[in-house]
Amino acid sequence: MKTPNPQLDGQGNLKHFLTIEGLRREILVEILDRAEGFLGVAKQAVKKVPLCRGKVIANLFFETSTRTRTTFELAAKRLSADVLNLNVSTSATAKGETLLDTLRNLEAMHVDMFVVRHGSSGAAHFIATHAAPHVSVINAGDGRHSHPTQGMLDMFTIRHHKPDFAAIKVAIVGDILHSRVARSQILALNTLGASEVRVIGPRTLIPECAAEALGVRVFHDLLEGIRDVDVVIMLRLQRERMTSALLPSEHEYFQLYGLTEERLAQAHPDAIVMHPGPINRGVEMESQVADGTRSVILEQVTNGIAIRMAVMSMCIGTQNLAGRGEKAPYG
Ligand code: CP
C-alpha cells in the first residue's frame, strides 16, 4: 500500500508545504493558478483580502533571510492574518530553549501556522511531526534539503514568460551540491513536464549520481550547457555550507561559470535569466546581466508574495474555509 503523503490531509488537500517531492502536478498547478489570482491584490488601494482573518502565523527564522522572511510576512498580512516574527537571536533560543519548547510555547498562544527556516535539513518536517494537529507548517528553507516556495515562485515566473513547460529547456548553473533551491526547482520542473533540465557547474559542486537520479543532464562547460536554453537560473555560491575547499577561488569560478552578456548569447535569443538571491555580483554573474533586459530577478521577488499567499491560503484556507463550504474571497 502507498504511504500517504504527510503534507496532505485526509481529503488530499495541502496541509503542510515541506517539499515538492511527492506532490501531484495538479497541486503544483493549483498553487500557480491561485497565485495568479493574488497578483492583483498588490494593485488594490487596500492591499488585503480577508482569507486568513483571525488566524495567527508565526515566522520562525533560525537562519538569515531577506526575501523569504519579508515576503512571507507581507503575504500573511495581505491575507489579513496576525503575524508573529520570532527574532531568534533575541529569543530564548539563545538561552538554550529547545525547538520543541519554543514550538509548545507558541502553540500556547494559539498559533495556526509556522513558517520555518532552519540550517538543518529536516527541521520543518520535525516541527510538522510534533506540531498540534490543527497547525500547518511551511518550509521556508531547510539546510541543503528543500525550499519549496522558492521553487514554486520560480515556476510562476517562468510560466509568465514561457507558458508551455513542455516546450522549454532550463539550465541551472552553479553550486548544485549545497542548493535546496536547485533541488526544489528540479522537482517542480520535472513534475510540471519541462522538456529538458540541465545542471551546469564544476565536478566538485555537482553530485553526479544524485543529479542523474533527479532526471537532469549534467554539463561541466557553461557554453555547452546553456546552448539554446530558454531559461538560465544562476545559483549563489554557498560558502557558508562548504566544509572543504571545493573551489580554487571566486575569481576562477567567475572565469569558468560566471554569466556575462557574451556568454548569454549562447542561450535562446528570448532566454530569461533568473537568480534566487542574494546575488554575488562578479562571482555568479556580471552586473550587466543581473540588471539587464533579460533578467527577471526582481520579478521573482514580487511573485514570491503571491505564491506565498497561495500556499498559506491553501494550507490554512482550504482546511478552515473551504472545509466549511465558504467560498474563498480572492481573485
Ligand atoms: N532566495 C532566498 O531564499 O533569499 P533569502 O535568503 O534572502 O530569503
- Inform me whether the pLDDT recorded for 206 exceeds 60: yes
**Out of 150-159, 214-223, 234-243, 317-326, which region has the weakest mean confidence (pLDDT)?**
317-326
Cβ–ligand 1 distance for 65 under 6 Å, the answer yes
Name 56's bridge partners. 82
How far is the C-alpha of 117 from the C-alpha of 136, rounded, in Å?
14
CA of 147 to the centre of ligand 1 (A): 9
- Inform me whether the pLDDT recorded for 156 exceeds 80: yes
Q: Where are the domains of the chain?
A: 25-146+302-321, 148-300
Mean pLDDT of 183-200: 97
- Considering only the top CATH level, what class is 148-300? alpha beta
Pocket test for ligand 1, best of 118, 144, 150 (most atoms within 8 A of CB): 150
DSSP type of residue 201: S
Nearest CA residue ID for atom 6, ligand 1? 65
* Sign of the dihedral through C-alpha 95, 96, 101, 102: positive
Mean pLDDT of 113-122: 96
3-state SS, residue 270 = coil
pLDDT in tens, 54-74: 999 999 999 999 999 999 999
pLDDT in tens, 271-289: 999 999 999 999 999 999 9
Cα–Cα–Cα angle for 149, 150, 154, rounded to 5 degrees: 115
Residue-averaged pLDDT of the chain = 92
Domain range 25-146+302-321, CATH architecture: 3-Layer(aba) Sandwich (3.40)
* Topology agreement, domain 25-146+302-321 and domain 148-300: yes
Nearest CA residue ID for atom 4, ligand 1? 67
CB under 8 Å to 210, separation ≥6 — which residues? none
Give the pLDDT of residue 209: 74
Q: For residue 110, how many other CB atoms are within 10 A of its CB?
A: 12
Mean pLDDT of 131-159: 97
For residue 282, give the C-alpha cell: 562578479
- Inform me whether the pLDDT recorded for 243 exceeds 90: no
Give the pLDDT of residue 87: 83
* Amino acid in the structure at residue 82: D
Q: Buried b vs exposed e over 30-60: b needs ≥16 C-beta within 10 Å?
A: bbbebbbbbbebeeeeeeebebbeebbbbbb
CA of 1 to the centre of ligand 1 (A): 38
Give the pLDDT of residue 245: 62
Dump the DSSP string for 148-184.
Answer: HHHHHHHHHHHHHH---GGG-EEEEES--TT-HHHHH
Position in ligand 1 atom list of the atom nearest CA 147:
3
- Inform me whether the pLDDT recorded for 129 exceeds 50: yes
